[in-house]
Structure formats: C-alpha cells, structure tokens
Structure 1
Amino acid sequence: MKFPKLVATFLLIATSFVHAQEKEITLEEIWNGTFRQERLQSLQSLKNGKEYLVLNSDRNAEKTTIDVYNYSTGGQVRTMLNSADLPEISSFQDFELSEDEGKILINTASEKIYRRSSRGIYYFFNFQTKELTKLTDKMVQEPTFSPDASKIAYVFDNNIFVYDIASGEETQVTFDGEKNKIINGVTDWVYEEEFAFVKAFQWNPSGEKIAYIKFDESKVPEFSMDIFGQSLYPSEYTFKYPKAGETNSLVSLHMYDVVSEESQEIDLSEYTDFYIPRIKWSADPMLLSVQVINRHQNGLDLIFVNAEDNSKEVILNETNKAYIDITDNLTFLEDNSFIWTSEKDGFNHIYHYNDKGYLINQVTSGDWEVTNYYGFDRKKKKIFYQSTETGSVNRAVYSINSKGKRKELLTPETGTNSADFSADFTYFINSFTDTETPYVYTLHRAKDGKLIREIKDNSKLLELEEAYNFSPKELSAIEVNGNELNMWMIKPQDFDENKEYPLLMFQYSGPGSQSVSNTYFNSNDYWFQLLADEGYIIACVDPRGTGYKGAAFKKVTQHELGKYEVEDQIAAAQKFGAMDYIDEDRIGIWGWSYGGFMSSNALLQGNNTFSMAIAVAPVTSWRFYDSIYTERYMATPQENPSGYDDNSPINHVEKLEGDYLLIHGGGDDNVHLQNTMRMVEALIQANKQFDWAIYPDRDHGIYGGNTRLHLYTKMTDFIKNKL
C-alpha cells in the first residue's frame, strides 16, 4: 500500500513524540566537530625501533614540540625539539629527520599548491651543535637531506638546488625551469593528482648522485580559472592540464653528479608517449630502478639504470589487457632481489623476484586481495601486509615469510585493521574499527600480534552518542545483474516494516573504489542519521567496477565508464523499490565527483526508477577530465569516441524527468567547473528545469568557513522538499 506523502509526513510527526526524550542530531553538530573521533597523532618511528616521535602543538603556549615516546610503556621519554627554545621561530608545521637522526628539517610557513604539493620556509637544526639555520629565504618545495646529512636538495621555481650545510653555499643543478613550461624535480599537475607523488628527485644511498625527472609541459594545453576573491577585479589562474587525448608533458630522466656538478640524460628513446610514475634507488647504491609505463597504462617496464655509466636494462615487464595500477610496493632486499605486487593472477598479490628479474616465488595467493604492503623484516625474513582474507569489506594484518610459508593472522578482530610498524618491526600500532566501533588504537608485538597495551579509544564518543539512539549501519549484500554486491543500509530509529519509506542511495562507484566497508560512521554517515531521523532510509551499493573483489570484477568497466555501474545502481534501486517498506516512487540518489557523474547518469538513464538526484562536482563528460586517469580506463577519445559519449550525462539531458540539484566549486582545479557549466547549458537548451549552486573559489572539496554547513543545509532542504 502506498501512503500519500502528506500521510507519511503526519505519521513521522506523530512518532516523533514517542522519541521526544531522544536528542536529534543537527547539521551544526556534524560540521562543528561534535562527533569527531579521537585519532592517534601522526607518529614516526625512530631507528632504534623502541621509540617514536609525535608532533605536538600547544596553541595557548604558542609552541610546537617533537616529543619522544616509548612504544612499550607509552610514556614520554624526552622532548627532541621545542620551538620555545628557538628564538628565531614561534612554531612549525612538520619535520623530516636526517637518516642518521642527527639533524632535522622543520617547515615554519607552508603554502598549499594542489592536493599534495606545497611550498614553505624551512630551517634545519643540528642536535649536536644545537644550532638552528635558515635554509633559504625562498619558499621551496620538497627539501631533502642527503644520506650523510651534509647537503639538502630542494626545488625552487621549477629548478633543483643543492645546499651544502658546512659551507652554506648553494649550487643550482638545473637552469631551464619556468612556470607552465619546464619543471625539474617535482611533478606536473596530472602526475601529482593521478600518480600521487610530488617529489621527482632521489639522492642515491651514497650521496654522490641525484636522479630526477624533468617535465616539459610547454605544449600541454592551458586551463584557466577566474578567482574572484575580495578584490575589485577577479584574477585569472592558469595552469597546464592535459585533458583526455591531449598532449602530455614530455618526461625525461636525468642523473646529476654531485662532484662534477654535471647532469646527463638517461636514454629512453625506445619509448614514446610514456610516463615515469616511480623512481627508486635499489640496495646497490649505483643502481636506480625506474618504472616506465605506456600511455594506455597496460604495459610497464621496470628498468635498472647504472649510475656509473648510465647504461640500463629492463628487469621486469608486466602487461595487462586493461591497465596496471602504480603502487609504492617495491622493496629491495640486501641481495638486490625485490618484493613486488601484481594482479597478474587475477587478484593483487605479493611476488619475490631476484636481482635479474626472475621470479623466485609468489608469496601470497588466493581469491582475495593484498590491500597494503607494510614492509620486510630483514632479520626475521618476514613480510607484513594487510588483506581482505576475512572478507572484501574487512581488513586484517598478517605476517608471512619470504617463501610464502608460516602465515600468521596478527589482528583477529573482524573489521578494519590497519598497522603502523616500528622501524625494526618489533611492534605495530593497530587501528581497529567496525560498524559499531569508532577507532581503537592498540600496541602489539609484531612477531605474533600479542596485545601489549591499549593506547586510545573513542568510548567518550560512544557515550555522547547514547543520547541520540543512532540507527546501525547494516552490512549485507544484494544480488544484482548476476553479481553479489556489497551494500549497507541505515533505517529510521522507529523503523516499521509495515510502513513505506522514501529511499536515498549514496555511492561513489569509481574504478577500484570502496564505499561499503566494515567501518564506523564518517561525517556523511552522521548526515545520513539526520536524514533517517526525518524518515528516510539510506542505502549504499558498490557496483561492478569497484575494488577489492578481484581484477575481473574491477576491470569489467574498461572502455565503458558509467555503463555497468549505472546498470547496477538502477537495478539495485528497482530491487529496493520492490521491498514492502520502500516507496518505489520516492527513490533518490546522490554522489560527489565520480559519484556525481554516476548520480546524474542514474537519474537520466534510470528516469523511471529515480525521482531525484544530487550531483556534487561531477564529471559530465570524460572528454573534460585529465589524461592519466581517464585514458587508464577509456583509452583516448580519438580511439574510443562512443565510450566517452554514450555514458556521459551531458548527452542524456533530454531524459531528465525528476528533480536535479547540480553543485560545483568555482575554483575546482581537478573536476573543472566547465563540467557543470556545459551541463547547465545543455539542460537549458533542452528546456529542462533543475536547481544548481556554485561555491565561489572553492576547490574540489568545497570547504572552508561555513561552506560545508551551507552545502549540506542546501542538500538537506532539497531532499526534504523533493523526495
């Protein structure tokens, strides 16, 4: 039986009196930090493996300290550095120790560039002489000690410099750096965003060489954004952004000799239109490993470059019919054999190769995924890793020897476990969470996982939440299009299976992603609790193309982003709508970024299923997005035009029948506002009515000040009025 919306509203009001004693959550509480979980501050293990560092800030005293703690007791041992003892500075934001732990770099003024990059004013402190020295007056990027801590390399204005600590002299390594043309030693925008690294130079272990990547982006098309700010006239920000099918930066690999002060280019002329997503020195101080991947990202060579004569050899070649994920899971052992992860057997697993690239053995195997590689204990010959062996929505931590034997589960609690190991692999700090438990931090012995002590939990948060009587996040699975898909659901507190409720679906759905996991509430989950209090059921389904269920499940969307994922979301919604307690006429969907692309598609292509959608910062055509991400899954638009156009929301606007809210940040350097503006124009020309909002100068995260509160207020009001 279908209840009219007015009757359903009346029933909702009536039941609210029953729960009058329960506290109702507000948007202000969600976004002012009321439900913020206690987290363990970022820590760094000292080389002795018995102690770790924590950066502590005291705003009242206006000081920053780096404090040393004992792993086994948790007690503070000493303070390594205190800004109150340094008259030249008042505080600092982060730090980096030299390899011998005798010196430290500290950042006293940081300025964000993009998602991962920043520049800052740096000082270095000598623990032996107690001297603090300013590195330079310039705002520099990625300062890094040489292995013997006698020098510091950094990047300024797209050029690499080397500072000699003893003499105070600065040597310029490169001279051709120029904004929007040539970059030395740090990555361009698209490498930073899609290959997830910024520093593109590496000291060799002996400090004699610096390997670095040069980016020639002079022919990369420019993108510009108006920044409105507070001035009378807006400014224009211009940067190089290669969209799908457009010209990428030309990359080249160089070797700098510190003594001769000369650079030589490594010959990679056999490759064309390629990427260098990783460089890393091996256990041999004169042997550099270089990963070279083709533009389609389905063929990767691991190359060894000899820094003495710049000769090179391909050690390992990997190919895939779809694409190869780039990771940081390369570890060299003392004999220069190496640990590597690959999906070549259909699931992500650990492999051990010798120094010539011949497979010694596959270390892990099974129909589950290695989700994090923590490292190798050279003394005990143990590998530590995280995996989905206890279920694709869970994470557990294991140890195994290099021969793939004597595997041991170190975290028996079912849920999401994540480890942070001490430098010598004596201990690990485990963070644990599940749908009922906010983060709990405990110290364990690495050899067998034995609990040593509890460090921190969120019992106070659970006590606070008792007054609200939140609904549980119920994990389950749904059979859709021949696949068992992971899902969760949140129901109203006073849920009655004999009543009907409107349904709001949330999803991200991007390649290799996961939105359904055995974890506690995040900010969106608290918002979902607010909506549940208003009488909505919230559900989330991870469709085909998402991660942690094997390569075949993840890569089925190749060349057709938005096809199978949308089919699964529509089919799931229809299956929900057939349930007695869900109103099939009141099903909405929302998402952010890729999720906004999906929610737009679902509303348009599933217009007989969804009555409402919200799209935040959506891609509306993959032709507008960057080359590395898009071509990894779609090839180029020139090669795959139908794949780009058939499933782009901008090409389906005539199908709009439900209520649609489109939201974007005006300063989004990632998914450009162009996506929304072109979608708006298409909707206008199709004479389709919709709602939209632009947040001036806000980037892809749309935050700052009251921005998030305003955004979620707008979305909440839209849902209450339209669904």
Structure 2
Amino acid sequence: MKLRFVISFLQFIIIPAFGQLTLEDIFLSSKYREKHPENLNFMINDSFYTVQEGNSILKKETVTGRVVDTLISKSDTINKGKFSLFDYSFSHNENVILLAGNREGIYRRSFLADYVFYNCTEKTFKSIHIANQQSGKIGNVEFSPNDKKVAFVWNNNLYSNDLSSNETEQITFDGKSNVIINGSTDWVYEEEFEFTKAYKWSQDSKIIAFLKFDESEVPDYNMQKWTGIYPENYVYKYPKAGEKNSKVTLNLYNTETKKTTEVSTDSLDSYYVPRFIWAENQVLFLSLNRQQTKLSITKFDPITNKSSVILSKQFPTSIELDPDLYYSENSNTLFFSGKVFNDDGLFSINCGKNPNLKKLINQNDLEIDCLDDKNKFVYYTSPTLKPEERDNFRISLKTKKIEKLSINSGSNKITVSLEGNIYIIANNSTGVPTSFATYNAKTKNCVRILEDNQLLKDKIESLNLPDQTFLSVKTSEQIVLNGWTIKPPLFDSTQKYPVIMFVYGGPGSQMVKNFWTGSYYLWHQFLASKGFIVACFDGRGTGGKGNLFQKVTYGKLGELETKDQVEVAKYLSRLDYVDSLRIGIWGWSFGGYLSTNSLLIGNNVFKTAIAVAPVTSWRFYDTIYSERYLNLPKDNAAGYDNNSPIMYAEKLKGKYLLIHGTSDDNVHIQNAFAMQEALIKAGKEFESFIYPNKNHGISGGNTRYHLYSKMFDFWNRNLK
C-alpha cells in the first residue's frame, strides 16, 4: 500500500504537466503575450532614450533605465481628451515631438491618424491645421531636415505645414480617390515594394521629391462589406497579373519657386520607381522594367535638369530589393544586399563619375540592417553555420574587418542608435521568447537588459513542452530540405501517430528557423499535446540557403514547392511511428496554395488539408508579385495555369477545408470561390467557411479563437 502510494507520488512529480495548453489561453487571453519596449527611440545623445508607456512618453537613462523626465504624461489633455497615442517622432533638433493618435488602418501598412505637435520648450500642444478650415485624419507626416515644416498627405494631395505659423500650403491639387495619388503609394506598391510614404525632403529642405500615381486606367476591384441591410461597395484599384498598373512619375516641388518639375525617365525602361533618396542635393532613384529583371540606378540634378545613369543591369530572373537605400554621404556610395543583383552577399557602388560595383562580402541571405555613416560601419544579419540561425555582424568600411556582434544562438535582430554608440539586439529562439538588450558599440559589452520576458519564459518552461527538433531530409532528386518536427508528449516509437504538416513556402520565406513564433509555436504544441506529430519543411524557393536555391522556382511557381512537400510526406509516411493513412497539411496564403496543391497532386499520401486565404490562381493576384516570379501571363501562360489547384480539382480524394475572409484586400475571396466552383464541377465534397468582413489576417474579437477551434475540430474528425 505504501509502495503504491510512493510510486503514484513519484509519477505525479516526475511526469511533465503536458496538456495544459488551451486554445482559450493562446487566442483569447494575453497569458502568453510577449512584452517589448514600446516605440523606443534613442536621443541624439544616445546616453538617453525615450519609450512609450500607454499615453505617456518617458525619457530614460540608457545605462540604468532610470526615468529622467516625463515628456508626455497620461494626464496631459490632448485633442480634448480624445487621443489614443500609438506612435511619435522627434524633430531633428528634438525640440518638437510629433504625436500620432487614433490610428485608422487602411491596408497592411497604410493608415491615417490625428497628429499633434508638442513643443518641448514651451510645453504646448498644437494640431496640424488643414487648409480651408477643413479637418480630417492625415497620413505620412514627416519633418523637413531644417525642422521648420512638416509635409503630409491628405485626400491624395501633398501638403506642407509651417510649424511656427501653423499655416498649411497645398502642393498638389489633382489628387482624387481611385484616380490620382500624390506622395503616397497605391495598393500594389504598398504591398509589394513595402512602403507608403512616397516623398522625400532634400537635405536643404528646399525641394520635395514625390511620386505621383495615375491609377485611372487600373481596373477596379469591388470588395463588398456586409455591415447593414444592403452591402457597402468598397471599390479600390487592384492590378491583377497582366493588367494595367498605375502610371508613376517622379516629381520635384520647389518650395521657393512653387514650381513642380517631372523627372524624365522615358529612356530608362523605368516601369517601376520603387526607391529614391536625396544624395548631395540630387535625386538618386532605382527603376525596374515591368518584368523586374532590369535594374537602373540614376541620379537627377534639379539645377541642370539632367539625369545620369550610374548603373544599368539586366538579369536572367527577377530581382528583389532592400527595404531601403543605404547611402553614405561621406563616400558617395550606395550599399546593397546581394539579392538586388541576383546574388548573395554585400555590394557597394560609388555614385561619382566613375561608378564601380564591388562585392564586399560573400554570404548567403545577407540582409542590411543599418549604415552607420559616422563610424563607417555596415551592420547586417545573416545565417552562419546553420541556415536556421540568424546572427548580427558589422563590417568596417575602413579596414573591411568583420565582427560578429550577436552572442546567443537563435534569431537575432539588431537596431543601432543614430550616433552609433549603442545598439540593441533582440534575441529569441524556438520556445524561448525575446530578450532585448543594449550594448556598447565600441566594447561590444552588454549595457543593460531592457526586457527579458522572464515571466513568459517561466510560463512556457512550466508547460514542459516537447522539443521542436531540427532535421534534414534528402529527396529523390538529391535535394536537401531542412525541417522541424514536434512529437507528442510521452512519445512512444512503437505507436502509430497522425501527422500534420505546416507549410508556407513562398519565395524567400523561411519557416524552418530557430526563432520564437508566439501563437504559431503554441498552436503547434497544442496539436502535439493532442496526439499529433507536427512537421514543417522548407522546400525549394525558400530562404536561408542562398540565391540559387531560391530562384530555381522562377517561371514555374508552385511546381517544385509542391513536389517537395509531397516528397517530405512520403518520407514521413515510411517512418515506423507514423500512420501513413493519416497525414494532413495546412497553410495560410501562399501556404494555403501549397496545402491545396499538395492534397490534390499528392493525393496518394495526403489525406486531409486546410487552406486559409489561399491563392488558387496567380492570374487573380497582383501584378508586381505574380510577374516578379512568373513573368507576364502573355509570356508564360503555362507557368500561371499548370500549377493552379483549380486545374486539379478532379484529383481530390481526401478531406479539404477551405477558409477565407470576405474583406481580404490582398488575396481576394475570388480565389476561394473559383476553387469551390471547380470542386463542385468535379463532383467533389469539401468543407468551407467564410469569415464576414475579415481581411487577409482573419482576426479581431473572437475570430482567431473561432478559426483555430474550427481547424482543430477538422483535424480531430479527419485525422484521429
């Protein structure tokens, strides 16, 4: 009797507490939410930084974290008390703080907001005055370099506001919804070139360079919103593959002469103008042909009205861009990651009379983080020994010496102060939430831990979750694919387990990384706790393994990616502890496209699939993305059609769940409807669920909980 009690007691304290994860805790609470320094900005004197806490902005000492001043207090009355602060920025001299509140989202990155100036000397608040006594939220607000003005966009027109007089000048007058946009990007530039503010002040604050988008000939997309007795028609411009794009021009507005000059780009094959900056009071801009296979780097002199081409190169496949242009004023040099030149590594090009393109570093998947022009460093992130790791480095532009800055394994992201004396590294890894630490840039010593998320780490550790194990699989084509698996708690190799594969697989993406993914990680651990093996493998076309591995899918998007998922499933099915009759796959967006294709083309191995907001034909998707990887439909019809799951609807044998939101401005619900129609025509049974008025993220309120509960129920009914 006593022995049985002791054994029971030992089992109680030794057996890990698996099964404590719930969907309610993951998706309906903040129990597992990470903390992070909110809107942290280093001051000019980077011995200090500011951080937002609610509606307050605090100034803190970098070394100690001690609060030395409350710049904005939650007790301050802003905008008559109706102001929910979400962002702020300082003027260059730090005398004025621009406060952004009451955010109103538009698309993925764009938003409008109420903006208020706070004068740090006078301790006064002042709202931006819009011309003609009109009011409304504005967007893309930025200080001029001399801090005398701000520019902003309102109702598709560009304006400037004098900070001393609060007088507003209207710069453009032709802005009109769905016709002309000045100073902001259209939908497809925002989504695929990843920026919204389409203007730049010159260094002397005299000229504003801006893009004008004439989208009058771009086809309309009507997205209905179901909010009243009758649906509301939300119409916006969305160019699908092969259709007309906006006509984009680069313009210069002189604030002294009040004249606007259009920069001629006709001779450059500049269908796209996705990046531009000011360099030595000249406009330096990148342009691409429509296929995104030809890159030109050009500078324009506003005094002589003449352009000179720095570089023009044609590539066999499309290229991708850095998120910004990294220009050194000291050396008149631009720095690029290798992907811009269809390569790997770090490149530089002098922008003077004798341009010379140089390769400084040869390293796979290098991403530039920052150019510290003052101290002559380029900071970058790249994988080192393992493709799933990300480390931080810097190269001295004086000595070409490379220094590794990150210390801990996993994923590391670096942010450098303006003066270059301090940097922050955010480190996390699989199952380990993010720690934020400041470092002295000269000594590379840790100054202080800003946030270690120790409480969250303790919660995660107390769950005793199974390891997420990294591994590699070699396919029949001798291609090595990297992946990870999570096995159920108390895994028994003599048992047979169902498998759920997770896939994204889009060009350059990487799901097999040693990093913290928050709710995704916990969701997959939840599935493992219910008796499923969860697996994820990055196929050809994904990131982390160099340019050649990524570009092999060019022109045939979906073909090799699907083959690789099917091969992995076949490998898993041969494992002794896997039930080969119970293998499923799920994905979102591009992942939903691949999960659908995998179920159809791999119908002899996959028994179930879930597709959330999938593309089902690249003819339905936008110009820039689709044509970047497939060329134009008229030049590659087979590439668009041969790998569309719509073409394989008759191959459906397993169970299929298709999910989409009606307000998806990115991947239109048209994709789901076309897939449904094809399956119905083929006489196939399937399940589908539509989320009313939800966008591509399908979130808000109880939506995520409902979504993941529905997916779990599907797995339980069809794989258990």
TM range (shorter): over 0.9
Amino acid at match of 1:551: N
**Deviations 1:132-185 (CA, angstroms, capped at 9, x unpaired):** 211032211112121112112111111111222233322211111111111111
Distance 1:628 1:521 in 2: 28
Tell me the residue number matched to 2:282.
287
Tell me the residue number matched to 2:581.
585
Instruction: Tell whether 2:127 aligns with 1:134.
Output: yes
Tell me the residue number matched to 2:25.
29
Q: Secondary structure at the match of 1:652?
A: helix
Measured after TM superposition, the shift of residue 623 of structure 1 is: 0.4
Measured after TM superposition, the shift of residue 377 of structure 1 is: 4.3
Instruction: Tell whether 2:489 aligns with 1:493.
Output: yes
Amino acid at match of 1:375: L
Instruction: Tell whether 2:708 aligns with 1:712.
Output: yes
Amino acid at match of 1:641: A
Instruction: Tell whether 2:352 aligns with 1:358.
Output: no
Distance 1:293 1:478 in 2: 38
TM-score by length of 1: 0.93
Alignment of 1:409-428 (within 5 A): 409-428=404-423
Instruction: Tell whether 2:179 aligns with 1:181.
Output: yes
Distance 2:254 2:16 in 1: 74
Tell me the residue number matched to 1:303.
298
**Deviations 1:421-442 (CA, angstroms, capped at 9, x unpaired):** 1211111111111224221222
Distance 1:348 1:310 in 2: 35
Q: Secondary structure at the match of 1:389?
A: coil
Tell me the residue number matched to 1:114.
107
Measured after TM superposition, the shift of residue 630 of structure 1 is: 0.5
Alignment of 1:49-88 (within 5 A): 49-57=46-54, 64-86=55-77, 88=79
Tell me the residue number matched to 2:552.
556
Alignment of 1:263-274 (within 5 A): 263-272=260-269, 274=271
Distance 2:47 2:17 in 1: 50
Checking the alignment, whether the CA contact within 8 Å between 1:52 and 1:70 is kept in structure 2 is: yes
Report the CA distance shift for 1:94/1:586 in structure 2 as closer, same or farther (over 3 A).
same
Distance 2:329 2:295 in 1: 22
Checking the alignment, whether the CA contact within 8 Å between 1:97 and 1:103 is kept in structure 2 is: yes
Distance 1:370 1:333 in 2: 23
Instruction: Tell whether 2:371 aligns with 1:371.
Output: no
Q: Secondary structure at the match of 1:417?
A: strand
Distance 1:21 1:632 in 2: 48
**Deviations 1:519-556 (CA, angstroms, capped at 9, x unpaired):** 13521221111111111100000000001211110000
Distance 1:357 1:52 in 2: 41
Instruction: Tell whether 2:199 aligns with 1:201.
Output: yes
**Deviations 1:673-718 (CA, angstroms, capped at 9, x unpaired):** 0000111111111110000000001000000110000000000000
Distance 2:451 2:473 in 1: 36
Measured after TM superposition, the shift of residue 585 of structure 1 is: 1.1
1:512 maps to which of 508, 512, 515: 508
Report the CA distance shift for 1:168/1:83 in structure 2 as closer, same or farther (over 3 A).
same
Checking the alignment, whether the CA contact within 8 Å between 1:23 and 1:467 is kept in structure 2 is: no
Tell me the residue number matched to 1:102.
95
Distance 2:16 2:630 in 1: 53
**Deviations 1:357-377 (CA, angstroms, capped at 9, x unpaired):** 6237432124x2312332224
Report the CA distance shift for 1:357/1:325 in structure 2 as closer, same or farther (over 3 A).
farther
Report the CA distance shift for 1:404/1:436 in structure 2 as closer, same or farther (over 3 A).
farther
Q: How many residues align?
A: 698
Checking the alignment, whether the CA contact within 8 Å between 1:209 and 1:307 is kept in structure 2 is: no
Tell me the residue number matched to 1:6.
none
Tell me the residue number matched to 2:38.
41
Report the CA distance shift for 1:500/1:357 in structure 2 as closer, same or farther (over 3 A).
farther
**Deviations 1:593-636 (CA, angstroms, capped at 9, x unpaired):** 00000000000000001000000000000000000000000011
Checking the alignment, whether the CA contact within 8 Å between 2:310 and 2:351 is kept in structure 1 is: no
Moved more, 705-714 or 481-490: 481-490
Measured after TM superposition, the shift of residue 404 of structure 1 is: 6.2
Structure 2 runs not aligned, ≥5 long = 1-10, 130-134
Q: Secondary structure at the match of 1:93?
A: strand
Tell me the residue number matched to 1:222.
220
Checking the alignment, whether the CA contact within 8 Å between 1:597 and 1:619 is kept in structure 2 is: yes
Measured after TM superposition, the shift of residue 96 of structure 1 is: 1.9
Distance 1:436 1:705 in 2: 26
Report the CA distance shift for 1:350/1:53 in structure 2 as closer, same or farther (over 3 A).
farther
Q: Secondary structure at the match of 2:447?
A: strand
Amino acid at match of 2:612: V
Checking the alignment, whether the CA contact within 8 Å between 1:22 and 1:467 is kept in structure 2 is: no
Alignment of 1:377-388 (within 5 A): 377-379=373-375, 381-388=376-383
Tell me the residue number matched to 2:654.
658
Checking the alignment, whether the CA contact within 8 Å between 2:335 and 2:346 is kept in structure 1 is: no
Measured after TM superposition, the shift of residue 83 of structure 1 is: 4.7
Q: Secondary structure at the match of 1:80?
A: strand
Tell me the residue number matched to 1:8.
none
Tell me the residue number matched to 2:237.
240
Checking the alignment, whether the CA contact within 8 Å between 2:250 and 2:263 is kept in structure 1 is: yes
Structure 1 runs not aligned, ≥5 long = 1-14, 58-63
Aligned-residue CA RMSD (Å): 1.9
Q: Secondary structure at the match of 1:608?
A: coil
Tell me the residue number matched to 1:160.
158
Identical pairs, percent? 39
